[in-house]
Structure 1
Amino acid sequence: MVVGTTFGAHYARALAGPYSPVELVGVAGTGGQAGRHLAAELGVRYLAGTDEIESAGAGLAVVAVRSAIVGGQGDEICRDLLGRGIPVLQELPVHSADVVRSARAAQRSGAAFAVTGFYEHLEPVRRFIAAARALDAVSPVTGVELRTSIQVLHASLGVLSRILTAPPGPDFAVHPAAATAKSLVSTDWGGVAVDVLVRNGYDARTPDDDCQPLMGFVLGTPDGELSLAHVHGPTRWEPRLHEEAPGRLRHPEQRLSHLFGPDHWTGDTVFPGLWAEGIARAVGGFAEAVSAGRRPLGQRDLAALRHWEAVSARLGRPADVPSVPPKLINIHDLEVCS
């Protein structure tokens, strides 16, 4: 069962599709037409509210409703479902205090509870995390540069917490950047210097419309840099150039830039393809944990959320930045080198 029909529509369509590890039995909303149309499109039952979820035969629920920290009822819905013994996977952002409350409700009822930032389950991000861990084992990461927007800062830090296994330190500095509505956040994350450039502004009328940049990472090591420019793109490894003598490189045979993974997603293929696979992976992993009796919520999730809360409080209220539809740029117009 998917609760919520805004971002929840992505979950519902993915779980009704060919990649789904579970059977979607229904969609729950507030009674609006959008939710009813979504359920009709997918051929599943529509529930106006969550009172009848048990009768719909749901073995677990995905709650993609705004949480209390962004003015929604998602946390209350989660604890109500957990109190009835229904396992819940909740879409972030969620305040860490509410995560703890829901985890305690889950413990009392014996139902599983977990949160998801979504992006950590996308294949390009998983590829980057795996490459970063492998790199760190042979060439320790000494610094991180992260570019992101305030709307997905929580998810960006969640991805970073899967690479830097130590928790972030309690102290950090915030400085205004030269660009409009941007700030630089610098911290020591378990001995690794982390600099986060955050775009702290959006159009209040359409807050989810303009997440530019979404999230991009550069990991520095003594031997080179590993980067992910975008969550839908490839990982890049760039070894550090070193001259043993003038004009003679230490490793002259190595490629100076190496890409891992495809870079072919378009606006009309990413949702039913890459995103649907990521959602299936997130829900499938949660369903496996439920079946095995494991508790999938970890301290890493809480540590990243608490750091996000502290940073967000220091950044202050996001600036109101009017959003305009982007122009379509012909890639061939950029190939002008002569």
Structure 2
Amino acid sequence: MMSLERPLRVVVCGTRFGRVYLRGIEKLKDKFQLVGILARGSEQAAKCAREYKVPLYTSTEQLTKENVDIVCVVIRSAVLGGAGTNIADQLLSKGINVIQEHPVHYEDVLRCRKTARKSGAYYQINSFYSNLQTVRSFIDVTRKVLKKSEAIYIDAACSMQVLYPLVDILGQALGGFRPWSFKLDNDNSEKNPFSSLSGEFNGIPISLRVMNQMDTSDPDNHTHLLHRIVIETTMGSIMMTDSNGIVLWNPTMYVPHNIDDVLDLYGENEFLDFQVTEPLLPIEKRSYKDVYNNLWPNGIVAALEGFRYKILNSKNDNQLAQYELTACQVWKNIGEELGPAKIVKGKNLYPTSLKDL
């Protein structure tokens, strides 16, 4: 068991999305100490190293388990054509714990898990979105509702860049994946930005729409949504409007019959007092500045705290390992049905609020 007397020393690999990790670590100075940035040596990486007053490493050879406890690998994995998987494996072979940003191919997760076991290190995929406040609320309330009711169907939509997190969100909310199956329904035409699939997830009928498009000149933008999910149950529906948005509870509309066998629309019954829609959390105004400065870094906080607890308490994570591998299989199966992403050219955007309309 690692000592609890000092913060865990962390290196962040990658300074694009890695900047969100840097902000998250900054919120946890009593539990984590940023001791370096690992990158190829770009000006962006050098700037981040100067800002956080830490060394800039350019090779995994410069890191050992004597000078770092955790590396957050926040660059593209092998399945996306990046070096993230090889870097993660090299670090794990040194006995350094690694948390890797999604998505990661099934075979690569298996490889990293084997290396981690051999060297006595911990490895974990961070699907990121499942730790955001909105998504966490959706997962938690779904679990509670399903203890008292039965799921009827799932209606879900996402962009292809965040398909793996969608699988993880549903897996956590529903308590697993099996049995699952997916079949492509539409012709994936050029005019339709979404590819539609139907099937089952954890034995529940599912309708899934994936925006299977990408602007290769700006792959991080020009998506129409992150995650939108509705889980209908025998008691009502749980709706997540967006990963950064709100969660709503809609009780099932039911009109009982009166003694004359007429729909009791205007009489006295308990169903009439139900609110049509209830937000799980107080609805607050949230700008994208709030998302990038608080909501997302707080998601990193949640992920790292869980990883820290496991490391410090030498927790067996075989169950998580099996869960991650199964999630990768589901993600892979959906991807095979979807086929390659359609290449599009994103349109110029300008900020528009409701008052502008």
Q: TM-score range by the shorter chain?
A: over 0.9
> 2:277 maps to what in 1?
257
Structure 1: how far apart are the matches of 2:239 and 2:110?
33
Partner of residue 227, structure 1? 239
Decide which of 112, 117, 120 is 2:130's aligned counterpart. 120
CA distance in 1, matches of 2:349, 2:237: 31
Please tell me the residue identity of whatever aligns with 1:50: T
1 CA distance for matches of 2:229 and 2:31? 30
TM alignment of 1:8-19, pairs within 5 A: 8-17=18-27
Gap change, CA 1:315 and 1:18, over 3 Å in 2: same
> Using the alignment, how far apart are the partners of 2:159 and 2:307 within structure 1?
27
For 2:173, what is the secondary structure of its paired residue? coil
Q: CA deviation at 1:32?
A: 1.1
8 Å Cα contact 1:158/1:305 also seen in 2: no
CA distance in 2, matches of 1:333, 1:33: 38
Partner of residue 184 from structure 1, selected from 196, 203, 210: 196
- Provide the residue aligned with 1:155 in structure 2: 165
The match for 2:340 among 313, 317, 322 is 317
Pair 193,55 (structure 1): closer, same or farther in 2 beyond 3 Å? closer
Describe the SS at the equivalent of 1:142: strand
Aligned-pair identity in percent equals: 27
Of 297-306 and 281-290, deviating more is 297-306
Q: Secondary structure at the match of 1:147?
A: strand
Task: Between 226-235 and 239-248, report the one with greater CA deviation.
Answer: 239-248
- Point out the more displaced range, 317-326 or 173-182: 173-182
How far apart are residue 329 of structure 1 and its match? 2.2
1:323/1:263 CA distance change after superposition, 3 Å: farther
Q: Is the 8 A contact 2:132 2:295 kept in 1?
A: yes
Which SS does the other structure have where 1:102 is aligned?
Answer: helix
1:13–1:42 Cα contact (<8 Å) kept: no
Would you say 1:92 and 2:102 are equivalent positions? Answer: yes
Structure 2 unaligned residues grouped into runs of 5+: 1-10, 258-262
Per-residue deviation, residues 67-101 of structure 1 (Å, max 9, x unmatched) = 11000111111111111010111111100110011
Question: Aligned-pair RMSD on alpha carbons?
Answer: 1.8
Aligned-pair CA distance for 1:117: 0.6
Instruction: Write the distance in 2 (CA, Å) between the matches of 1:192 and 1:326.
Output: 38
- Relative to structure 2, which stretch is displaced further, 174-183 or 58-67? 174-183
Show the counterpart of 1:300: 323
Letter in 2 for 1:130: D
Cross-structure match for 1:44: 54
Contact 2:182–2:337 (CA under 8 A) maintained in structure 1 = no
Aligned pair 1:64/2:85, yes or no? Answer: no
Cα distance change, pair 215–146 in 1 and its aligned pair in 2 (3 A): same
Aligned to 2:83: 73
**Partner residue in 2 for 1:287:** 308
Aligned to 1:270: 291
Contact 2:126-2:303 within 8 A present in 1 as well: yes
State the one-letter code of the partner of 2:299: G
In 2 relative to 1, CA 169–19 (structure 1 residues): closer, same or farther, beyond 3 Å? farther
Post-superposition offset of 1:55: 7.8
In structure 1, C-alpha distance between the alignment counterparts of 2:245 and 2:327, rounded to whole Å: 24
Gap runs ≥5 in structure 1: none
Helix, strand or coil at the partner of 1:284: helix
**SS of the counterpart of 2:104?**
coil
Secondary structure of 1:172 counterpart: strand
Larger Rg: 2
Match of 2:335, as an amino acid?
A: S
3-state secondary structure, aligned to 1:24? strand
Cα distance between partner residues in 1 of 2:121 and 2:174: 30
User: How far did 1:162 drift?
Assistant: 0.3
CA-to-partner distance for each residue in 1:270-307, whole Å, 9 max, x for gaps? 11111111101101110110111124433222112111
Which AA in structure 1 matches 2:230? V
One-letter code aligned to 1:6: R
> Aligned equivalents of 1:285 and 1:53: distance in 2?
23
Query: For residues 128-178 of structure 1, what are the alpha-carbon distances to aligned partners after superposition, in whole Å with 9 as ceiling and x for unaligned?
Result: 100000011111222111110111111111111101223243532111267
Per the TM alignment, residue 56 of structure 1 is displaced from its structure 2 partner at its CA by: 7.9
Partner residue in 2 for 1:5 = 15
**8 Å contact kept, 2:65–2:95:** no
Q: Any idea what the Cα deviations from partners look like across 1:13-53, whole Å, max 9, x if unmatched?
A: 32124677411111110111110101111222211122222
**Among 165, 188, 208, the residue aligned to 1:196:** 208
Could you state the TM-score of these two structures normalised by the residue count of structure 2? 0.89
Cα 1:103–1:18 shift into 2, 3 Å: closer
